[in-house]
A and B are shown apart, each in its own frame.
Chain A
Amino acid sequence: SQIHMPPSSALQDDKEYVGFATLPNQVHRKSVKKGFDFTLMVAGESGLGKSTLVNSLFLTDMYRDRKLLNAEERITQTVEITKHVVDIEEKGVKLRLTIVDTPGFGEAVNNTECWKPVADYIDQQFEQYFRDESGLNRKNIQDNRVHCCLYFISPFGHGLRPLDVEFMRALHQRVNIVPILAKADTLTPSEVERKKSKIREEIERYGIRIYQFPECDSDEDEDFKLQDQALKESIPFAVIGSNMVVEAKGRRVRGRLYPWGIVEVENPAHCDFVKLRTMLVKTHMQDLKDVTRETHYENYRAQCIQSMTRMVVKERNRNKLTRESGTDFPIPAIPAVPDSETEKLIREKDKEVSARAGAWVSCQGLHQSHSRMWEAWLELRAALSPTPACSCAGLWSPRSPWQHRQPAAGPDTFPAWRISTSIPLEELTESSSIHSAKLSSALWPPAATTPPWVSLSQNWASGSFPPQELAAPFEGRVCSVHGANWPISLPLLALTHPEADVVSTLPGPVQD
């Protein structure tokens, strides 16, 4: 849908016209200047046409220097992960495309756990991003997270093989999986239909969560809706790829020449290549990136933080630190039950998020896990005796974990709004046009009203809010758990208290 800029004369004439309708254009211009990046992973057995398909999709030759292994090398081959980066430009828009390939997958006689290197790679990218995001300098974070994984299913089997099921089950929580029926020129039309429905049914049966296309808004036009519907019913996409251009009926087409006829790659009657390309590049690229960011990455992050909290508590138990006779500072209690309005809104958001991303990420679940982590943190804090100067730059303050003191200077310091990760995920992103976070305007006004699941601090035992600065003895503690310069403590702490009042300190939503 286009945003039409009114001519400038209208701007001047119409006094009621404010002009923020041009915001999407501004965003658009900025993005074009910055360029886009996209990481695509292709996985599947060797010989299913992965390289050919990638070349056909992006009309480049990425595998020019590929060499095929000889017999001895093949026997001992293990699964590798290779990365090819290519910069493509079209009509002034730059795209940095990274293709991650998995040679050696499913090749050996014994393929047990051959998906592990792939899963590890994806987790590594998440971890690297997590560290960068929690670090001090966040201007130029490189986003290497895998946005989409095309999984190639062999057309020679009867549906999914055991290896296919294992792979998809291991990865569906980590990356958007788009199943592809490879080398579809070997199948007659009825065979294609039969295999597609068999694969779809097996995906249901084994509980594999492939990438779901977002629902169309009701105000989209009919064409778009029909297109969307057709797209959903074509999963898995039956594709054919080709590196060659052949002559057919006087035209030059990309295709494969057989003695019995010519298969055209870009003919929608022959295969679903055009649908796949449209989906991947034209319509759903941004959505794929959003889901990766909002769902898969956040899942990983929450898991990571949970496990870190557990480690911290274990450390404490192992070190058997002495407790002080009494606590020097009041420990506020979290309210037992959030109020009913909060509950209702949480449930609504829950449903929305669950519908998209499955029950794993739900506001309720996050709320609960936050509460648990907060309790664990409280235990830990109670056990830690005064320690020498903490080298995490004094940003970690035992008094008010949800709100750290502003350090002395500098544009590079950790800004206060970092804490806002406790806000529901959907609201924090620059939403794409397909699903705008409708609640954001209602729940994120500047300081006027409180976000529903941030309650004011009447429950603080210390009394007034924001908590007063406490006495000097707690200055400069060394974090005995983390040692030097572990910035992770900050988001850890920030996340531990869901009740953090962030209104007064936050300048606005998190930039992505």
Chain B
Amino acid sequence: MEGELVQPAPEETPRDANPANVGLELFGYVGIEAVLDQMRIKTMKTGFEFNLMVVGQSGLGKSTMVNTLFKSKVSRKPTGPGYEERIPKTVQLQSITHVIEEKGVKMKLTVTDTPGFGDQINNENCWDPIIKYINEQYEKYLREEILISRKRKIPDTRVHSCVYFVPPTGHWLRPLDLEFMRRLSKIVNMVPVIAKADTLTLEERAEFKKRIQKDLKAHGISVYPQEDFDDNSDDRILNNKIRDKMPFAVVGADKEHQVNGKRILGRKTKWGIIEVENPAHCEFPLLRDLLIRSHLQDLKDITHNVHYESYRMQRLNESNRLALSPINGLLGKDEVESDL
């Protein structure tokens, strides 16, 4: 619904926005609720877009996690013994787009991978290509938005969520993790997860999480769901519950095994089978629910309303113009080009 968002003019305050007023009483069925159906039909026709970015050192199971999340071979993973995994010298960004459909709802999913992150000996500024990429997507959207005659539905390539994979050392966050999260949480929704969590026992997991939460607070890093954007108290309660459990300790698997007669996604080791979708084993269901089932729209909204807006403000301030008036045809072609 991005195309329908309109900026409210600052002076406009509805005169009857008095919270004491409950509203008019209806003495018959009007049919306002049918709006929901109309929205649903429209959405099904247009489909959703969701852009996900996965960041972390090589070998932490990012591709497997994405495949497990969307239950399909979204990421191309190394298969077979002859495959050579080359660690690239600089961080590269690879995007793969798929259209997946469920019950008539289409979703255009774009997954951006970042091989080479954190793999070198000197990892300074390895986050720069990623920040550049994210800002580029904002820039693209901004250009489309300020056109005089713009498209009905602007293609949205902005990154809605960045999942950061923390290696399960069990001790604390490394300087690299802290640096990266500090910078990225300001421009994108950051969801940290503890990767390959089957290496930690339950007590170790709890301790590790506590330490990470302490670290994040000490450095002022706000991860999704951010406390500042809780709309109302209900949201806050729900999000607090989620924040208590962050970062989620996840395990990814794309192979199925037989457990009690059922086929279950999991990892089979000599001492047992780790069931990926069993909440007692790992927190993958929580991550999936957060990203897809409950907060997907919220992710997109916050990206659009908060992160994109702050980028836009920055750009406009840079060009020393306080108000942007695309309808005003007085902006010469040269001026427009030089500003942006």
Q: Which of these binds chain B: A136-144, A180-188, A309-317, A320-328?
A: A180-188
List residues of chain B with CB within 8 A of the CB of A269.
Answer: 270
The residue that B119 contacts in the complex, of A48, A161, A185, with Cβ under 8 A, is: A161
A68-B172 in contact (CB<8A):
yes
List residues of chain A with CB within 8 A of the CB of B198.
Answer: 185-186, 258
Instruction: Name the residue on B nearest A157 (C-beta).
Output: B59
B59-A156 in contact (CB<8A):
yes
List residues of chain A with CB within 8 A of the CB of B273.
Answer: 260
**A71 CB–B CB distance under 8 Å:** yes
A186-B196, A270-B270 as given contacts; A260 in contact with B281, CB under 8 Å? yes
Q: Which of these binds chain A: B128-136, B174-182, B289-297, B302-310?
A: B174-182
Per the 8 Å Cβ criterion, residues 231-281 of B in contact with A are 267-275, 280-281
SS class, residues of chain B in contact with chain A: loop
How long is the Cα–Cα vector from A253 to B119 in the complex, in angstroms? 37
How long is the Cα–Cα vector from A109 to B177 in the complex, in angstroms? 9
**B201 CB–A CB distance under 8 Å:** yes
Interface string of A315-352 (1 = CB under 8 A from B): 00000000000000000000000000000000000000
The residue that A188 contacts in the complex, of B78, B87, B175, B267, with Cβ under 8 A, is: B267
List residues of chain B with CB within 8 A of the CB of A467.
Answer: none
**B60 CB–A CB distance under 8 Å:** yes
SS class, residues of chain A in contact with chain B: loop
A161-B272 in contact (CB<8A):
no
A332 to chain B, nearest CB (A): 52
Task: Report the interface size class on chain A.
Answer: 35 or more
**A366 CB–B CB distance under 8 Å:** no
**A11 CB–B CB distance under 8 Å:** no
Instruction: Name the residue on B nearest A161 (C-beta).
Output: B119
A267 to chain B, nearest CB (A): 9
A157-B57, A188-B268 as given contacts; A162 in contact with B169, CB under 8 Å? no
**A133 CB–B CB distance under 8 Å:** no
B219-A68 in contact (CB<8A):
no
**A134 CB–B CB distance under 8 Å:** no
A109-B179, A157-B59, A259-B202 as given contacts; A162 in contact with B119, CB under 8 Å? yes
Instruction: Name the residue on B nearest A263 (C-beta).
Output: B271
A to B CB contacts below 8 Å, 16 in the list: A46-B174, A48-B169, A156-B57, A156-B60, A156-B167, A161-B87, A161-B119, A162-B119, A163-B121, A188-B269, A189-B269, A258-B201, A258-B274, A259-B202, A260-B275, A261-B271
Given contacts A74-B172, A109-B176, A258-B201, 14 further A-B contacts (CB under 8 A): A107-B175, A110-B121, A156-B167, A156-B168, A157-B57, A157-B58, A166-B121, A186-B198, A258-B271, A259-B202, A260-B272, A261-B269, A263-B271, A270-B270
